[in-house]
Chains A and B, each alone.
Chain A
């Protein structure tokens, strides 16, 4: 295993990302409104938190830098192979990314198509993706679960959930 594949190296990269994040958020806080009569400004508390995060990121950075440059003993847990997020070398990661994209689409379509339809679609796609091939079962479960959930929320908890094209179903249930 190469050094760049160890957990220590991954930690090093993480801490660099975090440092960038901290600098960015700190710059953001300087733009917060200043309240004349206040003893503690709205920006103060976030700034303390960013500073705290910064201190421990630096610690993590130094720790991992030392481990990467000086080498580690073989029992160090940071000497193990790090997890990967490269979708081109790991098909599992590619699938995870695909699910994430589906979830974003889901959010986008939630009130356009309605809960039941998008949920059924996403369920069927994911089931197919992870290797379920019993189509009758897939369609049945995918439609029934959101339908039952919707019914419980709507009828028992009187929570109104967007139904999109299935809106007439709500009027139908009202009539019963």
Chain B
């Protein structure tokens, strides 16, 4: 570690008006993009690359990182306010964020999300600055066996996000895993469940499915509630005196933030695993470790903090393999890789030898991007919280047309709009009969990862699956996953028992 150079790089980045301006602009754009379902940070970064062609490297990286970090937080805004995760990484935020909003604490939820995002991001940036070579070595240890078991570990969280009935949660999960196999099989290209319908060749696109299950289903259910007179206009009396959470709340959530940030950074650092997995793992872990697991999912700050710190930690994590191996950790860093190459810099092991000042400046730029996200976010909290007070009769149609456009714009395909509507109906029916939706989502994310690595592992070992016993990391993940499953089942029983007692008490009183 060259401290002098590191310090110099920080000073260099934090005193350049151009870099600061670009990063702030990026953060603003990222938050807005992230907040609209269907517009993702990946899209923003990709579209701005030609625009940044004429700029120097560090300002343009600042701009792109600003979008990246802003987008990670922005996704939580719509997850909290309208039950539609703006980006896949915000999918776990709505588990507690939306109930908070329904309780009339939209502003509080937003400020917690922002604060946790910032802390998680800073934690990620710090780990990246000081532990990059170590983490990169770890990432290089992940071959198909380890990836398979990592996916399995991710799936083990399903029990703790299943809600009351574990059987229903697992049915949802397997249904999601089955949905993930629609289309051409990833290894041989064989057609599965295509029924001669060509648009299905690549399966159900993830984002339209996500928007359908959450946003469209919520609009349909909302219309039903209004007509049958159950809908209450949300309280908007909440006074937002402080855009940052108060000391008492921070004391309550700081452990969640730190564990979330660390989980996010490490999962983000593994190429092929990103924020969408990290948030669920962090949520599951923090729920299990909590003294009151029964409160999770009812709208507590801890839930929002655990997920939002994880997805922003991920941005730091994903930068590690990008810079030190030249392997992108997720979709956004894949685009960033293109941006570096375009400037004539090849990320990879040699970058730390030949371009050390650039590497340090990228570290500094990521830190700056997180700061910019906090500043822009602070300014926006009051404004975003107002969305809730828009009359529901106007809000639902608007959510509908904006979400459907988002579904369309991912692939420019009408078929995706249809997929979105289809999953809207499925989500509406599942909600009615209390099948949880989050397991489907997690299964859709992890299903392909699970299958690809399983098939590949068996294939490269000539059909001998038990070769996996020679991989200590994989076996370790497997043991932890089984422990997680057993513990969550125990936990769920405890929760159900406590609830039954509460019902009895309420009845007696």
Q: A106-B404, A153-B405 are in contact. Are A142 and B220 (CB under 8 A)?
A: no
**Interface size grouping (class) on chain A:** 35 or more
In the complex formed, the residue of B with least CB distance to A76 is B500
Residues from chain A with a CB closer than 8 A to the CB of B392 are 130
Query: Does A75 lie within 8 Å of B503, measured CB to CB?
Result: yes
Q: Does B471 contact A (CB under 8 A)?
A: no
Query: Does A99 lie within 8 Å of B220, measured CB to CB?
Result: yes
In the complex formed, the residue of A with least CB distance to B460 is A39
Of A35, A42, A50, A110, most B-chain CB atoms within 10 Å: A42
* 0/1 string, B442-459, CB within 8 A of A gives 1: 000001000100110011
In the complex formed, the residue of A with least CB distance to B46 is A157
* 0/1 string, A57-86, CB within 8 A of B gives 1: 101100100000000000101000011010
The segment from B311-319, B322-330, B420-428 that touches chain A is B420-428
Query: Does B400 lie within 8 Å of A40, measured CB to CB?
Result: no
Q: Does B463 contact A (CB under 8 A)?
A: yes
Query: Does B408 lie within 8 Å of A52, measured CB to CB?
Result: no
* 0/1 string, A94-122, CB within 8 A of B gives 1: 11100110011011001100010001001
Residues from chain B with a CB closer than 8 A to the CB of A28 are 193
Q: Does A145 contact B (CB under 8 A)?
A: yes
Residues from chain B with a CB closer than 8 A to the CB of A158 are 47
**Interface size grouping (class) on chain B:** 35 or more
In the complex formed, the residue of A with least CB distance to B429 is A85
A contact patch SS: helix
The segment from B95-103, B166-174, B266-274, B380-388 that touches chain A is B166-174
Query: Does A100 lie within 8 Å of B174, measured CB to CB?
Result: no
Q: Does B434 contact A (CB under 8 A)?
A: yes
Chain B, 409-432, CB within 8 A of any chain A CB = 409, 412, 414, 417-418, 421, 424-425, 428-429, 432
In the complex formed, the residue of A with least CB distance to B415 is A107
Of B181, B228, B504, most A-chain CB atoms within 10 Å: B181
Residues from chain B with a CB closer than 8 A to the CB of A145 are 398, 401-402
Q: A103-B421, A110-B417, A122-B400 are in contact. Are A40 and B459 (CB under 8 A)?
A: yes
* Distance in Å: Cβ of A87 to nearest Cβ of chain B: 10
Q: What number of A-B contacts does a CB cutoff of 8 Å give?
A: 191
Query: Does A132 lie within 8 Å of B459, measured CB to CB?
Result: no
Residues from chain B with a CB closer than 8 A to the CB of A146 are 401, 405
Residues from chain A with a CB closer than 8 A to the CB of B429 are 85
* Distance in Å: Cβ of B136 to nearest Cβ of chain A: 31
* Distance in Å: Cβ of B285 to nearest Cβ of chain A: 24
List 27 A-B pairs, Cβ < 8 Å: A11-B433, A25-B193, A29-B192, A35-B190, A39-B458, A40-B187, A43-B192, A53-B175, A56-B168, A56-B174, A57-B171, A60-B165, A60-B167, A63-B167, A77-B164, A96-B220, A96-B428, A103-B421, A107-B421, A111-B414, A122-B397, A123-B397, A126-B397, A130-B396, A132-B391, A132-B393, A161-B409
- Using a CB–CB cutoff of 8 Å, the interface residues on chain B facing chain A are 39, 43-44, 47, 164-165, 167-168, 170-171, 174-175, 177-178, 181, 185, 187-188, 190-193, 216, 219-221, 223-228, 230, 391-394, 396-398, 400-402, 404-405, 408-409, 412, 414, 417-418, 421, 424-425, 428-429, 432-435, 447, 451, 454-455, 458-459, 462-463, 499-500, 503-504, 507
- Using a CB–CB cutoff of 8 Å, the interface residues on chain A facing chain B are 7, 10-11, 14, 18, 25, 28-29, 32-33, 35, 38-40, 42-43, 45-46, 49-50, 52-53, 56-57, 59-60, 63, 75, 77, 82-83, 85, 90-96, 99-100, 103-104, 106-107, 110-111, 115, 119, 122-124, 126-127, 129-132, 137, 141-142, 145-146, 149, 153, 157-161
